[in-house]
Amino acid sequence: MTMTSTTSASQVRTIAPVLTVNDLQASIAFFEGLGFGMGERWEHEGKLVGVMVKAGDLEIGLSQDDWAKGRDRQKGLGVRVFITTTQNIDELAARAKQAGVKFDKEPHDTPWGARAIDLTAPSGFKLTISSHQE
């Protein structure tokens, strides 16, 4: 497969996916274990229903599922979020592991020359965090 690069008319600076999660507190703890900090918070009738977690310029929204589509709805099917960092992956992984984060694949070298970890967030969303490659 050949990939080509084209110039886009869009001038996008950031993207912030919002993930509907089964357990907001467990998802917050997972991302905090990866070193994310808390950003904006949303409450409804005094109850926390969503947050933005932040790391550098990256923001990911976490929104508590209201179960309107049923409690057996699977999340994250067919989606993987790729995150790049300038941090040392082994050090990031060690801190995350100490915070209780579980990995699908421990730190490893990728075919494209990066170092990466693969994870599954509590609600089933797949993530890969890899070292930045110039």
| pLDDT 10s digits, 43-96 | 999 999 999 999 998 999 999 999 999 888 888 888 899 999 999 999 999 999
Find the length of the chain: 134
Domain ranges in the chain are 18-65+78-131
Give the confidence band of 133 by pLDDT, cuts at 50, 70, 90. Answer: low
Nearest to 125 by CA among 41, 18, 35: 18
For the chain, helix, strand, coil in percent to 5 are 15, 40, 45
- Which CATH superfamily is 18-65+78-131 part of? 2,3-Dihydroxybiphenyl 1,2-Dioxygenase, domain 1 (3.10.180.10)
pTM of the model: 0.86
Give dist(CA 90, CA 123) in Å, integer. 24
